[in-house]
């Protein structure tokens, strides 16, 4: 029994690329996938935090590298993909996770703010997939895109974010259709409010007291916010053979919030 469980959640010998892996959900996922046996490559613009996350994983016996990459810049993404190819030859898991949020409605949003949000979540997912999926074609693999509860419904003063995250979900379906023939599965994890820098930045942007904001974020059936580890576990599920016949779908991980 133990062997069977190990076999279906093990990522031994696998390589995973994680965008936005320096902090929050991405860093927790880098740690968990590494504990499951994968070698992880963190792509992020936050070099200091990314190097620290990778070195903590190595200190705990894992294999992790940080590679500085702005995923909105195709030249940088191409260089990162060449690095992965040179280092590992193939890729098994891609977690498209980097994201930013601006809490404004369409009247108040600046064009540059719209571009920043849509470019990281949606265009970044496109660019990284475009250059990393070719490394998966020989052996198959799993792509996990990060949506949000706001991929499935919308929220107040988050117009660009809601549009981008809904786009990520339908891009997920389109990619699942296109790459199933290579045994590449593509799914979307949709977190609810999870305690990270991004969530706390929303309180500041909205001019709300952080403690009150976080308390409101905890008001859901399971009575608490998510932790980055909660989301990392669902990414591990979508990455490993437990989910081998799951593709083109969304997994809402939100403590019952949307219910
Ligand atoms: N925290 C939540 O409540 C919540 C809820 C739903 C969805 N999400 C999504 O989860 C994902 C992770 O966010 P988080 O909450 O862990 O926040 P976070 O701010 O801790 O992590 C986001 C990471 O993305 C990186 N990043 C930003 N722009 C980048 C770029 N151009 N290129 C490369 N890296 C870049 C940041 O440096 C950071 O390390 C995001 O896509 C976010 O939208 C978060």
pLDDT digits (tens, 9 = 90+) for 73-109: 999 999 999 999 999 999 999 999 999 999 999 999 9
| N- to C-terminal Cα separation, the chain | 34
pLDDT digits (tens, 9 = 90+) for 103-128: 999 999 999 999 999 999 999 999 99
Closest to 25 measured CA to CA, from 6, 8, 42: 42
Report pTM: 0.98
Residue 58 lies in a domain: yes
178: part of which helix (H) or strand (E)? Answer: helix 159-179
* Structural domain of 185: 2-100+120-148+165-192+225-252
Q: Which atom of ligand 1 is nearest to the CA of 50?
A: 39
Residue 180 lies in a domain: yes
- C-alpha 97 to ligand 1 mean position (Å): 6
pLDDT at 221 over 70: yes
Tokens of 119: 């470019």
Residue 105 lies in a domain: no
Domain count, the chain: 1
Mutate to test the pocket of ligand 1, among 17, 78, 99 (most ligand atoms within 8 A of CB): 99
Q: How is 35-64 classified by DSSP, letter by letter?
A: HTT-EEEEEES-HHHHHHHHHHHHHTT-EE
Q: What is the residue-averaged pLDDT of the chain?
A: 97
pLDDT digits (tens, 9 = 90+) for 235-257: 999 999 999 999 999 999 999 99
Q: How is 107-174 classified by DSSP, letter by letter?
A: TT--HHHHHHHHIIIIIHHHHHHHHHGGGTTTT-EEEEEE--GGGTS--TT-HHHHHHHHHHHHHHHH
Which residues are designated catalytic?
Answer: 161
Residue 217 lies in a domain: no
Q: Does 72 sit in the ligand 1 pocket, CB within 6 Å?
A: yes
Helix/strand/coil percentages in the chain, nearest 5: 50, 15, 35
CA distances 233 to 86, 127, 168, 253, Å, are 29, 25, 20, 10
Residue 8 lies in a domain: yes
- Residue 21's domain is classified under what CATH number? 3.40.50.720
Residue 110 lies in a domain: no
Distance CA 141, CA 74 (A): 22
Residue 115 lies in a domain: no
Q: Which atom of ligand 1 is nearest to the CA of 25?
A: 16
pLDDT at 4 over 90: no
Distance CA 121, CA 164 (A): 6
- Residue 1 pLDDT class (50, 70, 90 cuts): low
Residue 199 lies in a domain: no
Distance CA 132, CA 97 (A): 14
- Residue 3 pLDDT class (50, 70, 90 cuts): confident
């Amino acid at each position: 029994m133990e062997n069977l469980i190990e076999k279906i959640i093990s990522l031994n010998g696998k390589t995973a690329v994680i965008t936005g892996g320096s902090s929050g959900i991405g860093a927790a996922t880098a740690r968990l996938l590494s504990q499951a046996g994968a070698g992880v490559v963190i792509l992020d613009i936050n070099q200091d935090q990314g190097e620290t996350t990778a070195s903590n994983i190595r200190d705990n016996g894992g294999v992790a590298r940080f590679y500085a990459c702005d995923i909105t810049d195709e030249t940088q993404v191409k260089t990162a993909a060449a690095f992965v190819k040179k280092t590992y030859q193939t890729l098994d898991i891609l977690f498209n996770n980097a994201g930013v949020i601006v809490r404004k409605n369409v009247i108040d949003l600046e064009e540059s703010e719209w571009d920043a949000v849509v470019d990281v979540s949606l265009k970044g997912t496109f660019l990284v997939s475009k250059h990393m999926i070719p490394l998966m074609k020989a052996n198959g693999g799993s792509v996990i895109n990060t949506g949000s509860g706001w991929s499935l419904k919308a929220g107040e003063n988050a117009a660009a974010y809601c549009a981008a995250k809904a786009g990520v979900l339908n891009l997920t379906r389109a990619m699942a259709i296109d790459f199933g023939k290579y045994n590449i599965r593509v799914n979307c994890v949709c977190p609810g409010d999870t305690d990270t820098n991004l969530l706390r930045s929303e309180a500041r942007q909205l001019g709300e007291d952080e403690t009150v904001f976080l308390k409101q974020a905890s008001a859901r059936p399971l009575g608490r916010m998510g932790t980055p580890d909660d989301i990392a576990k669902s990414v591990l599920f979508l990455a490993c053979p437990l989910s081998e016949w799951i593709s083109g779908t969304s997994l809402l991980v939100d403590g019952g919030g949307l219910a």
